[in-house]
Amino acid sequence: MPNNITIVGIQWGDEGKGKITDLLAGDAAAVIRYQGGANAGHTVVVEGRRIVLHQIPSGILNPESLCVIGPAVVIDPETLIQEAESLRVHDIAVTPERLAISRSAHVVLPFHKRLDALREASRGAAKIGTTGRGIGPAYEDLFARTGIRMMDFCEPDRLVTALRRVLPERNLLITHLGGEPFDAEQMTEATIEQGRALAPYLRDVGAAVHDVLSSGRRVLFESAQGTLLDVLHGTYPFVTSSLTTAPAAFPLLGVGVPEHRRVLGVVKAYTTRVGAGPFPTEDPGSIGQRLRDVGGEYGATTGRPRRCGFLYLPALRYAIRVNGVTGLAVTKLDVLSGLAEMPVCHAYRFGGDVVNTIHPEHFEDPALTPLYETWEGWSEDLSAARSLTDLPAAARTFLDRLSAALEVPVVLVSTGSGREATIFAQDPWA
């Protein structure tokens, strides 16, 4: 039986991965966040408490699992410390026994954020819709080999040397874009306390996770953002700056690919997207507005209203292939209650062809025309449903049609933000 599940969003993010990770973490010895940064926001609701996680894995609410921040996450030290504090307010212990941070993870510093904001402002109408958290510039430094790792950040001598290396070039760009430059010594001084606070958490996380995996205990890999935001496989350039897909988890963490694994593709029962970029099934009309209101579709990190629209099966088929999805976690099915019927895009017309699976290069082409089917809706409230048979027939048909169209079984269904509002159709570890 596989002892690892990768939880991946198969749309544009915000699918509800945090809830699913928290739910399955009860069975996991370790939960690993493997990419992205503080631009992600995972909301978990437990016993009526709403907890928003940005960098700490959503397994932190399960006292038994080790939470790991891998080397390919870019860490904002200031907000990470605040996040740990905000969890302590909820009596959730964040200690070095519970949270392990890779020594090699890169840090996001104020100069990355300033650069991010200045660049986005300079783009005018061609904005990407970045969250302005400095994630893109921090990844640039990683790949340019000018980045600053946690092991540098937590040692003032190393930090000042690293800053002297990276700042001259970054300051040139910042001043060119009209911003104030940064000083290496001042920045080191200002962050000494943060480095001290985080140093006890640093570990060789690859080795720690390898030990858990090879002992047969269960591991969850939690991705942030969604497949269509992947820097390589998403709707470039309207993407995030990291690899968000499921197979990336293993090389990004530094463990070999386990022989048996499960990939849970988290799909919201409709589609949303934040930021700019093409969204062929967006509904700027009343259904889109209804989904936004009922589904609470406002960003957990930025508060931005999300763009809302209909299910887009060609993109889901693509994401299933890219990730090797073995099962679906369908979330927010409850949000569709009250719609008499709903359009679902099953394919699109491109030139003279009908296409079932997206080609990212078609995305921006005005010749792409979505083709819709109408799926029957239901009026019942789903929040009390605990098994598939508790669902109205039309909701069951919705799930059957989705599973048949995507050729992947539905493993679980979420009908509310709390842990209890979940239907297990199959054992996710089986």
Show which residues are catalytic.
14, 42
- Distance of closest approach, residue 32 Cβ to ligand GDP, in angstroms: 15
* Residues in binding contact with ligand GDP, number by CB under 6 A: 22
Using the contact rule CB under 6 A, the part of the chain among 36-44, 320-328, 348-356, 397-405 near ligand GDP is 36-44
- Distance of closest approach, residue 52 Cβ to ligand GDP, in angstroms: 7
Which one, 152 or 222, has the nearer CB to ligand GDP?
222
Between 291 and 330, how does the x/- string for binding to ligand GDP read (CB under 6 A)?
-----x---x------------------------------
- Distance of closest approach, residue 346 Cβ to ligand GDP, in angstroms: 23
346 binds ligand GDP (CB under 6 A): no
Selected from 141, 230, 283, 334, the binder of ligand GDP by CB under 6 A is 334
Between 266 and 285, how does the x/- string for binding to ligand GDP read (CB under 6 A)?
--------------------
Selected from 23, 25, 28, 42, the binder of ligand GDP by CB under 6 A is 42
Using the contact rule CB under 6 A, the part of the chain among 25-33, 118-126, 401-409, 411-419 near ligand GDP is 411-419
- Distance of closest approach, residue 228 Cβ to ligand GDP, in angstroms: 13
83 binds ligand GDP (CB under 6 A): no
Which one, 284 or 296, has the nearer CB to ligand GDP?
296
45 binds ligand GDP (CB under 6 A): yes
Selected from 414, 423, 425, 428, the binder of ligand GDP by CB under 6 A is 414
Selected from 5, 8, 10, 16, the binder of ligand GDP by CB under 6 A is 16
What does the alpha-carbon distance between residue 95 and residue 106 come to, in Å, rounded to a whole number?
A: 21
Residues that bind ligand GDP (CB under 6 A): 9, 13-19, 41-43, 45, 296, 300, 331-332, 334-335, 414-417
